[in-house]
Structure formats: structure tokens, C-alpha cells
Structure 1
Amino acid sequence: MYKKILLVTVSSLVLIACSSEPKQNKQTLEVSKKCEATQSIPGGWQQAKITPELKQAAIAAASSMEGKHTVKEVQSATEQVVAGMNYKINFTTEESNIAFVAVVYRNLNGEYQVNSILPQSEVINCK
């Protein structure tokens, strides 16, 4: 009797172990967390049209950089509706051949705050 109970218990544990999802390594988890921002979910990041407000956000980002920088071209952007608007903007400057990615917050009064700015080569691009 005990052998049958042991056999059933061991078999159940083997089936449970085999049916579990494979573990993801830490790097895969970090990339997926960073890429979640591009998924279309309510309150999430959405593709944005290049509007005057978005261009002004890019200008605010460029002017916050060390030295004198002027926006040459806004290549693409995403936006997130919050109490105001978050913009993630890909742009180039007249003074450099480097593309930048900036995250800029525009509050309800229309004031801009640059949260981050990095060269595009240092940003994980999600497709």
C-alpha cells in the first residue's frame, strides 16, 4: 500500500515539475520590462504624432543638454497620458550626428521637465 502511495506522489511531483514554465534569465526579464512600455495598453505608451507640443518637448530636451544644441529633426515619439503628458522622443540635433532619446514630462500648465536624455545607441529598442 505504501509503495502505491509513494509511486502516485512521485509521479504527481514529476508531472508538476514537467508542466511548469521554463525560467527566464535575469537579462531577458530586464529587457521585457523595458519593452513593456511599447505595448498598447490603456494608460501605457502609444505612438505619437509629431505635434507642436511634442516638438516643444524636444526643444526643451535639447536645451537641457550641456552646450548649445538645436533640434534638427524629430524622428519618432511615443506618449503616455498621465496628470499631464509624458513624451519619449527620438531626435537629432544640428550640432551632432548622434540620435538622442529623451523622456520629457509636460504638466497640465504646459511646463516641460526633462526626466532623462541618452544617446539612442544606449537605449534598448523594442520592436
Structure 2
Amino acid sequence: MKKVILLSVVSVAILAGCNQVTSTNQEQISTMPHNPMCNSEAMPGGFYPPGEVTPVAEKAVDLVLNQIASQSPLKQITDVRTQVVAGMNYAVEFELENGEVWNAIVYQSLDDEFSITQQPTLGKLCP
């Protein structure tokens, strides 16, 4: 009988310890950024953190500007993130002279053709 009670107490203690580890893991998961694109560290297969504005990124933004119906000219490109695929994805964020901030994702094929893969959206890329 004493062995059964001792075994029960040890089992409860072990399960309580396991539950605490799970709680810690849940806290870590909940503090991760919602959008993997917004991670500040590069991940294999993911978007690389913000880099410099290259002529190719400017060309991607020009394509998006032709798509949106705004009379306001471009003020600045505020964020560019890249992802290597069978070509290159450019996640771009830019501000217009009227203060609007837009974002979109543009794909550049290996043949150097550009297409918008995520339609322009009003708002920041990574809030």
C-alpha cells in the first residue's frame, strides 16, 4: 500500500513538472511575432530582414505604384525584405507624399519579369 501511495506522489510531481515546461513553451510561442516575415533574424527559406533599397527594389515599388490609384507621388521606400525562391520575392513598404504607407509583395522571375503576388495594402508591412 505504501508503495502505491509513494508511486502516486512521484507521478503527480513528475506530471506537475512537465506542465510547467509546457507553460513556459506556450509563453515563448505567444511572444513570437505573428507574421514570420517580420522576424528580425534570417531563417532558411524565409524573408531576410530589412536590407538596403536596391535599384531592383525600386523597380518593384514602381510596379506597385502603377497598380494603386493614388495621385500622390512616392516619398520614400521604408522597408525591403527579400526571399529567395525560384527567383526573388520582394516585400516592400513605402510612404507616399500624402502620408499613406503601403505594402505589397512583388515576385521577380529568373527571366527578370516582375509580377505582384500580394496586392498592395494600405498599412505597414510589419506593424
3-state SS of 2:59 partner: helix
**What CA distance in whole angstroms lies between the structure 2 residues aligned with 1:37 and 1:73?**
20
Deviation at 1:81, TM superposition (A): 1.3
CA shift in 2, pair 1:75/1:15, >3 Å: closer
Match of 2:81 among 78, 89, 106: 78
Q: CA RMSD in A?
A: 2.7
Partner of 1:9: 11
**What CA distance in whole angstroms lies between the structure 2 residues aligned with 1:106 and 1:36?**
18
| Superimposed CA distance per residue, residues 9-66 of structure 1 (whole angstroms, 9 cap, x where no aligned partner) | 2222223223333334x9x47x624045432123322233222211110010111113
**What CA distance in whole angstroms lies between the structure 2 residues aligned with 1:102 and 1:2?**
63
Percent identity reads 21
**What CA distance in whole angstroms lies between the structure 1 residues aligned with 2:88 and 2:53?**
14
Q: TM-score, structure 1 length as denominator?
A: 0.74
CA shift in 2, pair 1:88/1:9, >3 Å: same
Aligned amino acid, residue 65 of structure 2: A
Unaligned 5+ residue runs, structure 1? Answer: none
Q: TM-score, structure 2 length as denominator?
A: 0.74
Partner of 2:44: 42
Unaligned 5+ residue runs, structure 2? Answer: none
Matched length: 121
Q: Is the 8 A contact 2:38 2:126 kept in 1?
A: no
Aligned amino acid, residue 32 of structure 1: P
Deviation at 1:103, TM superposition (A): 1.1
**What CA distance in whole angstroms lies between the structure 2 residues aligned with 1:36 and 1:93?**
23
Partner of 2:104: 102
**What CA distance in whole angstroms lies between the structure 2 residues aligned with 1:117 and 1:97?**
16
Once the two structures are superposed, the pairs formed by residues 49-88 of structure 1 within 5 Å of their partners are 49-66=52-69, 70-88=73-91
Question: In the alignment, is residue 118 of structure 1 matched against residue 90 of structure 2?
Answer: no
